[in-house]
Copies of this chain bind each other. A is one copy, B any other.
């Protein structure tokens, strides 16, 4: 059977990936280019166009009915523009128009990468079957997205769920975003590593000072490495509890490189959540590792496009 396909684009500071995604979330065709992140905007766009050309050139393209884009943020779905922090050549860049121009005028949906990951985890991953969920990526940065009332909640600009930049320590360290004590400033991989080094942890003979190396040290019982993960876990717990208290979620799904630390992160995270999620209606909240891996961006971009089409169809029937 030849069902409809959705073209997905996943735009990050390191690579631009594309795929044709079927109704079961399978990637039938993939393409990828490195992101020329420090070139001018048109050069970056040519890399994206080159990915799209591989998709539109395929015999599968005739079954493609929509395009979904998940992009490093901030994005602005209301204007169809993106301004990714790590791609300085794109500021208010009209990505939606430019993609529409090379994809035959198909409907294009734009969301932030945290929202895309959330769409993927809700469709086929750890948040499946949960009507109210927070999904988050903890790695170089901390991003996220929300499912509310059974549907993806991208918000008007496609950035909702951006947990990394809520302040959980209003007098805390200055964050590059301009605020203080943001979740990302405490819980991202580089901040976990920095805090361990500042407090006297030293890497092994390989000189690896990544958060993964700190996790490994914590697993071997290093108290400073353990404390750095515990601090990250407290910040994440405060942020997750705030989200649950504000919008009532019943699961928080955590992915990204830092989640790869496993119990070193999840054990103190679950413990700290009991300290911060105290009101009766948030106490049943559970935490689970993400399941969708590195394809989450592509699968989620496709899911976000499909969700918008379904939403618009339902609205027409009203």
CB distance from A61 to the nearest CB of B (A): 32
Interface size on A, residues (CB 8 A): 49
Does residue A241 face the partner (Cβ distance < 8 Å to B)?
Answer: yes
Instruction: Point out the residue from B155, B157, B179, B235 that lies within 8 Å of A241, measured CB to CB.
Output: B179
Does residue A317 face the partner (Cβ distance < 8 Å to B)?
Answer: yes
Does residue A156 face the partner (Cβ distance < 8 Å to B)?
Answer: yes
Instruction: Point out the residue from B131, B157, B163, B170 that lies within 8 Å of A234, measured CB to CB.
Output: B170
Q: Which residue of B lies closest to A144 (CB)?
A: B246
CB distance from A77 to the nearest CB of B (A): 9
Does residue A291 face the partner (Cβ distance < 8 Å to B)?
Answer: no
The complex places the Cα of A248 from the Cα of B114 at a distance, in Å, of 14
Q: Which residue of B lies closest to A164 (CB)?
A: B245
**1/0 contact string of A152-164 vs chain B (CB within 8 Å):** 0101110111110
Q: Which residue of B lies closest to A131 (CB)?
A: B156
B148 and A132 form a contact (CB under 8 A)? no
**1/0 contact string of A172-215 vs chain B (CB within 8 Å):** 00000111100000000000000000000000000000000000
> Which one of A146, A156, A246 has the highest number of Cβ atoms from chain B below 10 Å of its Cβ?
A246
The complex places the Cα of A160 from the Cα of B247 at a distance, in Å, of 5
Chain B residues whose CB sits within 8 angstroms of the CB of A263 once the complex forms: none
The complex places the Cα of A159 from the Cα of B161 at a distance, in Å, of 19
**If the complex has contacts A146-B246, A155-B248, are A280 and B76 also in contact, measured as CB distance less than 8 A?**
yes
B242 and A167 form a contact (CB under 8 A)? yes
Chain B residues whose CB sits within 8 angstroms of the CB of A235 once the complex forms: 170
Does residue A169 face the partner (Cβ distance < 8 Å to B)?
Answer: yes
Q: Which residues of chain A from 112 to 126 have a CB within 8 Å of any chain B CB? A: none
The complex places the Cα of A189 from the Cα of B153 at a distance, in Å, of 34
CB distance from A231 to the nearest CB of B (A): 9
The complex places the Cα of A177 from the Cα of B282 at a distance, in Å, of 12
**If the complex has contacts A157-B281, A318-B317, are A166 and B241 also in contact, measured as CB distance less than 8 A?**
yes
A246 and B248 form a contact (CB under 8 A)? no
Q: Which residue of B lies closest to A168 (CB)?
A: B170
**A–B complex contacts, Cβ < 8 Å, 25 sampled:** A74-B279, A74-B281, A76-B280, A132-B156, A146-B247, A148-B153, A153-B247, A155-B281, A156-B250, A157-B281, A159-B248, A159-B279, A160-B248, A161-B246, A162-B245, A162-B246, A167-B168, A167-B241, A167-B276, A168-B168, A170-B234, A179-B275, A242-B242, A314-B318, A317-B318
Q: A167-B242, A180-B275 are in contact. List 19 more A-B contacts (CB 8 A).
A: A74-B281, A76-B281, A131-B156, A148-B148, A153-B247, A156-B248, A156-B250, A161-B247, A165-B245, A166-B245, A167-B276, A168-B169, A168-B170, A169-B169, A169-B171, A180-B276, A246-B247, A247-B247, A317-B317
